[in-house]
């Protein structure tokens, strides 16, 4: 019955139901809050009874229905997570951390030893994953159960093989909405934050990567899931390059310990975005023209590097592509967005230098690395470009060891608070990196 350890699942999710009926604990699926409302105990959301009543008189939860319907006619099956037992775990990582990474790694191990939570604020391209290895190793050897969760499935897919390579003898599992592999008990997991809703007091250490990314950010359902999934005495680790206001506030109020890594592993400063006025960009593109400032900028940048152009909307982007193609008939280019079925192929082609220009929606704002690129944010003053998006976008440039003098440009017709804030944040990190001796003079 190991499959129920630290889990909270419905009958239909269980393979051996006879054994489960006999051995497991039953937990309530929903609980009345008052006469009018009822709370789902998987996702924590409170519903108005009149809206969620079924024909048979029971109530259900519409919020987490994609994980299988929870209703008051059912129970959750659960078994408590066993107590940790110390053991030896093979650790195959032979890499070397930079001084900055090492300091963060030490902080994190110390936090886990004390059972406290910590935020790691590391700039884009800092090499976050490597800083976790020591902590994961220590945790597994302590007999702890460890999960690394991310709101983004592509992050999970990339992370899982890397983790497996570091702990080659450790059984591990990858959990996300589209997986085919059946759930089995492991001490080491990589999963999407949605999958945490199926756990109950399971983890001694829970690491959440990209904690500021959609759909986790501002999502009470997923945050309830996190709180349910961890043990009472446990360490919650937040990883981010662009912390939310809420997390920053907790840090300044000393409610959450924080380690900052202000420099990349290659010891160069983060490229600071430059602003350039681009009047009436929206109108011009709508009419099928490419703004002159943009054309001039592309011309200079494309001499040295490939160019990523971030656009605020898909319809504008498609119009812009045609206009730019006319100006640069010799330059291979494409555009990509979240609904594009060829999204992965196009990203690969850009990586392989088959395109020189790639226009994109905010879909490529994080999680991707290209060699030798410059970035233009067209209409940087548009609402979709929040501070965190702009910092992440700027962070696409100069990630590789080899220096290619990539640049970041915000083209706009009205500077926003988000633009100023993004530049301020990047400069602040650079100053901190220099102060700490983590950046070399160029
Ligand atoms: Zn629910």
Distance 6 CA to ligand 1 centre (A): 18
Instruction: Render pLDDT for 391-441 as a digit per residue (tens, 0 to 9).
Output: 999 999 999 999 999 999 999 999 999 999 999 999 999 999 999 999 997
Please spell the DSSP secondary structure of 99-156, one letter per residue.
HHHHHHHHHHHHHHHHT--EEEEE-TTS-TGGGGHHHHHHHHHTT--EEEEES-HHHH
Provide the pLDDT confidence category of residue 217 given band limits of 50, 70 and 90. Answer: confident
Q: How far is CA 296 from the centre of its chain?
A: 34
Distance 225 CA to ligand 1 centre (A): 10
Full set of structural domains in the chain with CATH:
2-78 (no CATH), 99-261 (3.40.50.300), 274-435 (3.40.50.300)
Provide the pLDDT confidence category of residue 318 given band limits of 50, 70 and 90. Answer: very high
> b/e map of 177-207 (b: 16 or more CB within 10 Å)?
eeeeeebebbbbbbbbbbbbbbbbbbbbbbb
Q: Nearest to residue 240, comparing CAs of 273, 268, 216, 205?
A: 216
CA distances 89 to 28, 86, 137, 172, 301, Å, are 37, 10, 7, 13, 49
Distance 19 CA to ligand 1 centre (A): 26
Distance 48 CA to ligand 1 centre (A): 13
Distance 388 CA to ligand 1 centre (A): 29
Distance 289 CA to ligand 1 centre (A): 48
- Residue 213: its pLDDT value, please? 79
- What mean pLDDT value characterizes the chain? 94
Give me the residues paired with residue 360 across strands. Answer: 310, 336
- Residue 247: its pLDDT value, please? 87
Cα–Cα distance, 189 to 164 (Å, whole number): 10
Instruction: Render pLDDT for 115-165 as a digit per residue (tens, 0 to 9).
Output: 999 999 999 999 899 999 999 999 999 999 999 999 988 889 889 999 999
Give me the residues paired with residue 374 across strands. Answer: 307
Cα–Cα distance, 117 to 132 (Å, whole number): 14
- Residue 212: its pLDDT value, please? 83
Q: Which two tokens stand for residue 67?
A: 């994980």
Distance 421 CA to ligand 1 centre (A): 36
DSSP-based three-state secondary structure for 206: strand
Q: Which two tokens stand for residue 388?
A: 């965190």
Provide the pLDDT confidence category of residue 300 given band limits of 50, 70 and 90. Answer: very high
Distance 134 CA to ligand 1 centre (A): 35
Instruction: Render pLDDT for 189-215 as a digit per residue (tens, 0 to 9).
Output: 999 999 999 999 999 999 999 888 777
Distance 178 CA to ligand 1 centre (A): 19
Q: Are 75 and 27 in contact (CB under 8 A)?
A: yes
């Amino acid at each position: 019955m190991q499959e129920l350890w630290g889990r909270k699942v419905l009958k239909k999710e269980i393979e051996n139901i006879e054994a489960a009926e006999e051995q497991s604990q039953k937990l309530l699926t929903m609980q009345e809050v008052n006469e009018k409302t009822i709370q789902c105990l998987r996702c924590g959301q409170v519903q108005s009874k009149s809206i969620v009543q079924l024909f048979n008189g029971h109530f259900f939860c519409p919020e987490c229905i994609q994980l299988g319907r929870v209703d008051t006619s059912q129970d959750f099956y659960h078994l408590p997570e066993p107590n940790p037992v110390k053991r030896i775990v093979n650790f195959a990582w032979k890499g070397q951390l930079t001084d900055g990474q090492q300091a963060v790694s030490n902080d994190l191990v110390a936090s886990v030893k004390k059972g406290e939570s910590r935020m790691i604020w590391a700039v884009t391209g800092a090499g976050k994953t490597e800083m976790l290895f020591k902590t994961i190793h220590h945790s597994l050897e302590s007999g702890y159960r460890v999960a690394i969760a991310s709101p983004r499935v592509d992050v999970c897919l990339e992370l899982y093989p890397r983790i497996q390579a570091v702990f080659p003898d450790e059984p591990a599992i990858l959990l996300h909405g589209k997986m085919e592999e059946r759930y089995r008990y492991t001490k080491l997991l990589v999963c999407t934050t949605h999958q945490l809703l199926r756990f109950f007091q399971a983890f001694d250490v829970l690491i959440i990567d990209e904690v500021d990314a959609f759909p986790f950010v501002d999502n009470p359902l997923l945050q309830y899931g996190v709180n349910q999934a961890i043990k009472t005495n446990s360490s919650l680790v937040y990883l981010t390059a662009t912390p939310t206001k809420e997390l920053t506030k907790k840090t300044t109020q000393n409610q959450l310990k924080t380690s900052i890594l202000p420099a990349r592993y290659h010891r160069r400063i983060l490229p600071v975005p430059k602003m350039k006025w681009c009047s009436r960009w929206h109108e011009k593109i709508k009419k099928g023209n490419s703004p002159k400032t943009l054309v001039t900028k592309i011309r200079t940048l494309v001499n040295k590097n490939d160019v990523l152009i971030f656009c605020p909307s898909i319809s504008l982007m498609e119009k812009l592509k045609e206009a730019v193609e006319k100006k640069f008939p010799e330059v291979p280019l494409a555009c990509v967005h979240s609904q594009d079925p060829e999204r992965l192929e196009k990203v690969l082609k850009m990586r392989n230098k088959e395109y020189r220009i790639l226009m994109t929606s905010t879909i490529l704002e994080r999680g991707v690395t290209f060699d030798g690129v410059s970035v233009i944010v067209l209409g940087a003053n548009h609402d979709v470009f929040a501070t965190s998006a702009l910092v992440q976008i700027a962070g696409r440039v100069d990630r590789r060891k080899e220096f290619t003098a990539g640049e970041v440009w915000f083209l706009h017709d009205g500077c926003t608070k988000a633009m100023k804030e993004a530049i301020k944040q990047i400069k602040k990190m650079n100053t901190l990196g220099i102060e700490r001796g983590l950046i070399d003079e160029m």
